[in-house]
Structure 1
Amino acid sequence: MKKYKIGYRTFKTAVGATIAIALASYFNLQFAASAAILTILCIQPTKRKSVHAVYTRIVASLVGMAFVFLFFENLGYYPIVLGIMLLLFIPTLVSLNVIAGFISSVVIIMHLYAEANFTAELLLNELALMAIGFGTALAVNMYMGDFQKELDRSIDQLEEIYRSIFSEIVKYLRNGDTSWDGKEIIEAANLLNKAKSLAFKDVENHLTRKENEYYLYFDMREKQLEIIERVLPKITTLPVMVEQAELVADFMEDLAEHVHSGNTARTFRDKLEIVKEEFAKMPLPETHDKFVAMASLYQFIEEMDEYLIIKQSFRGIKKKGKKKAITDAT
């Protein structure tokens, strides 16, 4: 049995439905309970989706009332007329790209069909129900939770995982330790999926914002993770240990200690150039295995340069309560 939980959306649905039906009853509207239905149909997980939901339902309902007048007032209030009307009404909503408002429009249509008399008074009643139902949904949906603390926490967790991955690489290069099971790679991938989803939801909660710095950050880290996954088999299956392994280990240890705000990616790219220069000064390999090991290590540092380029191109964000921007992180 799943844990019983009342979420944001559930709470807003209950509050919105209560307010809508109370207002409709206060103004003595016919079908007052339908105001609650209209509100419930518009409750959405984000502000942007809420605005779009209200838009589609208003348009669909207005088009529906126009169809009712054209069909029922001219052909009569009969089931067959309702069926013919729906055959044309649904494709119309699809062409207008407001099919999401179909159910809400049917609520209005069935009110008019039940009364079998399209009067100005009934029309005003339905417009009032729409104003209360959709307006209430829009009002309660304007309050959304703040995801910034959770996003900051995801950043901290992800950077800790990256530090752990780099530390495991260092242990292998220095000691030949092959006990690592690579679980951090899976943890990083799962965390990135959740964090990007949350960051996208944060974008949807800002009506004028088209992109989210947190989303760009996690997207950047995801690209870096792809590089890490690609090079790990090369660096952890060296046929022999060569002198250059210690150089790479020193660099990775330094990088592991600075996966946070405080050191720029440019700084580490400069350090990587020094590693390359040291590589060039070392003697050529004497055996095939040493040649393969050196080639793998050199390919590894080239990939790590790409890892840093990806970070360097990120413009950065400012974490809540932090003085330094994440743009300084590696």
Structure 2
Amino acid sequence: MSFRIGYRTLKTAVGAGLAVAIAQGLHLDFYGSAAIITILCISVTRRDSLKVSWARVVSCLIGMMISGVLFEVIGYHPWTLTLIMIVFIPIVVRLRMNAGIATSSVIILHLYTVGNMSLALIFNELLIIVIGVGVALLMNLYMPNSDQALRMYHKEIEEHFKTILHELSVYLRYGESDWDGKEIPETIELLQQGKNLALKNIHNHILRYDDQYYYYFKMREKQFEIIERLMPFVSQIHQTVSQSETVADFMDELSQSVSPANRVPYFLERIRLMRAGFEEMPLPKTREEFEVRSSLVYILHELEEYLHIKDRLWNHADKKKL
């Protein structure tokens, strides 16, 4: 079993030590709590860290105000602490700052332990909060670059799409195939992993809410849903007709053109011309031929939607200047 230290573990360890060093260097009471706040505020992404840090700061201020008033009015008793929590927790939950409950509890316990409110104590606690949160935000400035991994997912997904479309064209052309279909579950997994990483990449940018890769993976996800819908119709075609060869050629060409380049208008025109050619052909002579041609018309309809999805995303991406 290999032992590996991740970047988040390293950041947490360094941040905890740095927070304690600063708080101890300033001769603050309860300086160890600065490390606890730092550990709690380090998150997976920069945006999450900022959100959590804000929640903890506000919650601590609310907790200090409530506990300061009740301790001074009722006294420093265990049941006063119980009353403070009964009042404090619903307020924080209502403000949707649940993440700050643990940190605030530490600060409230400091006030209870000292047993006396003073400006020096309040200043001490505020400094501990600022040091803990500040060091966590500093540590979260570093996030590993995910561009290489995103490019890998991008490339793998396109290769899988090419294989799937090519194998479907083979089945249309010959009515059989020895393809094992392993690319289907692999593509599902790649799409999910790529989309999750792209979303994480978005959350590592404070002011950016759009991401080219995220839109790409969403586009391929929707296109893959169409491929899954048309696969049963392809598998039902056991008899080849002249139209089967035409659609197979189209799908094979489409498989070779899976790329970020926008060739949608060209392929849409190809579909229009194929439909026009099909309409000029003689009517089917047998029921089997009718069913095959009906399936082929449906496959063309789905492939048209497959292309429109990319076209819509391309226009959206252009507006976003991706």
In the alignment, what sits opposite 1:111?
A: 110
Following superposition, which runs of at least 4 residues in structure 1 exceed 4 angstroms of deviation? none
Shift of 1:30: 0.7
In the alignment, what sits opposite 1:144?
A: 143
Deviations 1:15-46 (A, max 9, x none): 11011011111111111111100100001000
Q: Which amino acid aligns with 2:75?
A: G
Shift of 1:171: 1.2
Shift of 1:3: 4.2
**In structure 2, C-alpha distance between the alignment counterparts of 1:97 and 1:294, rounded to whole Å:** 58
Q: Which amino acid aligns with 1:197?
A: N
- Mean alpha-carbon deviation: is it higher for 250-259 or for 269-278? 269-278
**In structure 2, C-alpha distance between the alignment counterparts of 1:19 and 1:175, rounded to whole Å:** 68
In the alignment, what sits opposite 1:24?
A: 23
**In structure 2, C-alpha distance between the alignment counterparts of 1:283 and 1:162, rounded to whole Å:** 34
Shift of 1:181: 2.7
In the alignment, what sits opposite 1:322?
A: none
Normalized against structure 2, the TM-score is what? 0.95
Shift of 1:315: 2.6
**In structure 2, C-alpha distance between the alignment counterparts of 1:123 and 1:214, rounded to whole Å:** 47
Identity %: 42
Shift of 1:91: 0.3
Shift of 1:260: 1.2
Normalized against structure 1, the TM-score is what? 0.93
**In structure 1, C-alpha distance between the alignment counterparts of 2:146 and 2:268, rounded to whole Å:** 33
SS in 2 for 1:224: helix
In the alignment, what sits opposite 1:321?
A: none
**In structure 2, C-alpha distance between the alignment counterparts of 1:94 and 1:158, rounded to whole Å:** 42
In the alignment, what sits opposite 2:93?
A: 94
In the alignment, what sits opposite 2:257?
A: 258
**In structure 1, C-alpha distance between the alignment counterparts of 2:315 and 2:301, rounded to whole Å:** 24
Structure 1: runs of 5+ lacking an equivalent = 319-325
Structural mapping, 1:313-324, within 5 Å? 313-315=312-314
Change (3 A) 1:4 1:281: farther
In the alignment, what sits opposite 1:196?
A: 195
Deviations 1:182-228 (A, max 9, x none): 22111111111111110110110111112222111111111101100
In the alignment, what sits opposite 2:236?
A: 237
Q: Which amino acid aligns with 1:28?
A: H
Structural mapping, 1:146-165, within 5 Å? 146-165=145-164
In the alignment, what sits opposite 1:278?
A: 277
In the alignment, what sits opposite 1:61?
A: 60
SS in 2 for 1:315: helix
**In structure 1, C-alpha distance between the alignment counterparts of 2:136 and 2:208, rounded to whole Å:** 22
In the alignment, what sits opposite 2:9?
A: 10
SS in 2 for 1:302: helix
**In structure 2, C-alpha distance between the alignment counterparts of 1:292 and 1:126, rounded to whole Å:** 77
SS in 1 for 2:284: coil
Shift of 1:263: 5.0
Shift of 1:261: 3.7
Shift of 1:178: 3.2
Deviations 1:293-322 (A, max 9, x none): 00000110111000000001113799xxxx
Deviations 1:115-161 (A, max 9, x none): 11111111111111111100000111121111112111111100000
Shift of 1:262: 4.1
1:299 aligns with 2:293: no
SS in 1 for 2:314: coil
Contact 1:285 1:291 in 2 (8 A): yes
Q: Which amino acid aligns with 2:85?
A: L
In the alignment, what sits opposite 2:37?
A: 38
- Mean alpha-carbon deviation: is it higher for 3-12 or for 104-113? 3-12
**In structure 1, C-alpha distance between the alignment counterparts of 2:156 and 2:119, rounded to whole Å:** 61
Contact 1:48 1:207 in 2 (8 A): yes
In the alignment, what sits opposite 1:47?
A: 46
**In structure 1, C-alpha distance between the alignment counterparts of 2:4 and 2:291, rounded to whole Å:** 56
**In structure 2, C-alpha distance between the alignment counterparts of 1:25 and 1:93, rounded to whole Å:** 30
- Mean alpha-carbon deviation: is it higher for 132-141 or for 254-263? 254-263
Contact 1:93 1:102 in 2 (8 A): yes
Shift of 1:97: 1.5
Shift of 1:278: 2.1
**In structure 1, C-alpha distance between the alignment counterparts of 2:53 and 2:216, rounded to whole Å:** 32
1:174 aligns with 2:173: yes
Contact 1:217 1:316 in 2 (8 A): no
Q: Which amino acid aligns with 2:88?
A: F
In the alignment, what sits opposite 2:75?
A: 76
**In structure 2, C-alpha distance between the alignment counterparts of 1:54 and 1:69, rounded to whole Å:** 22
**In structure 2, C-alpha distance between the alignment counterparts of 1:175 and 1:223, rounded to whole Å:** 28
Shift of 1:4: 2.7
